[in-house]
Structure 1
Amino acid sequence: MQQRSVEDILLDLAPQSDAKEIEGSFFEKHQNILDTLSILAFVNVLLIIYQNGGLKVVSNFKYFKSKEKNNQEYQQLFERALRNSELVTMEIPNITTNQLLLAAIEPQLYVVQTRSRSLFPFSHCLHKWCQQQFSSNKDLVGFRITHYVVTLEQIPIANDCLKKWENVCSEKANRIYAMDLVQMYFSWCLRTYKQQRILRDIIVAMAQLSCGKTSIAAIEVTMHCFRRTITHYMRMIATYFVFHKELKYVYAYNKEEEERRKEKKKGILMQMG
């Protein structure tokens, strides 16, 4: 990508007929552009942290003994993923002159799509890499489940591998990774956190029983090999909650009817007395 100086950008921002422009002298415009570029860069960093659970996870991981330990694990996972160029691709942001002009004159609020948000740092990148291995790696066919896990763990990701991630991730962090996958694939049917948590626990239990442990690789292999079974569990959970809700309405209605009958019977007895 061609590198552009602030002066070049200022020349492109020269006033045009019937168009908004940045007010002030050349040096004021120069400083305004620098400030705007810095803000846009900072906002992009915040968006990445937000979409990967940083703003929520750091304060709300209740399963750690202290917030310090929580911060340390999250930071370690976040930096580990970000350092791996094969896992997380870094691209130079393409900010057009029109975008810069709009941001400098009329600052806009940023809308973040919640469906792209995860709690495990860059879980979507890890999952995408695992899916690529399942579709292209010849070593991941025709063997037992445990072989899938061992093979997937040993495939290099640049200078890293999932086996090394296993030494960093706590069991609770692995469960959060599983929850990200549940929200990625099954939130269209399981809309509440309670429903998603039940399916998450089922997937983790299946990984433990079939693979002998809970790890990123074990969860990915379980999702890959038992997708139909997991989908059936999803439907069962959704059906249960639908009937449970309807039964609550029926129970409440029957209770009201029972109260009415009691009141009616009580009134008849009082009239007879």
Structure 2
Amino acid sequence: MKEQQSLFSCPICKSSMNVGDDGHIVCAKKHSFDIAKQGYVNFMIKPSPSMYSKSLFQSRQEIITSGLYEPIQKAIANLIGKQADAILDTGCGEGSHLEKICSLLNRQILAVGIDISKEGIQAAAKYYEDKIWCVGDLANSPYQEQSFDIILNILSPANYDEFSRLLKPNGKVIKVVPQSGYLKELRKEAFASSEKENYSNEQTVERFKEHFANVEQERITYTMELEPHLVPKLLEMTPLGWHLQKEVSLNDITIDLEILVGKLSN
């Protein structure tokens, strides 16, 4: 963090910040934030209750590291290519997607994750020490403008005005959204014979296109075998599983996701 202190902007007054040897990040107007002993910083100005538990992020980490999303991660790494030096993962959770994508890039890169959930960031700092992890609100993020070549937004809410502020010239936003077949086996169990059994991302895609130019779209669909011990983990990590009041037996699960890549409109 000290090496990258020029990255930070005070979420209270927007002034630059200094990372001290005493474990404090302090701005020019003396607003101070502590680096936790686990290695992350909480930049939240006011508490924000989270519906996500420590257990949920443990389940998410097990699912992601099982390889279920590896084709998506490989596609994202290919889209990032060799030009990007700084990546921000927004809504990073416990950081497993960012960790895997950076490992696929196979080079030194500044990798930063932000999430509003303290439990998620605590887990990220525990699992992956070589990145910068911040608890923070995307509507008031603790970073200087034009700080990142790539902004990742994987199955998470977006803040396009903030993305535009944070992107470097020629930077890209890579957003991952569900397609109609995503987790369809689970959707069928949760919403059988109701309108929620079917899903469309059309509105999300159109909103993305309103904010970015030359949008590229890549749909990735596959079905993978799901080991029995991972079924309850999947149910816990996705809101679809929260609607189920019964035990579920899944042998296979379908991943059907669309990757949107956009550059800032001139």
TM bin, normalised by shorter chain, reads under 0.3
**TM-score relative to the length of structure 2:** 0.25
Which structure is larger by alpha-carbon Rg, 1 or 2?
1
Which structure has more relative contact order (CA 8 Å, sep 6+)? It is 2
Bigger proportion of residues as strand: 2
**TM-score relative to the length of structure 1:** 0.25
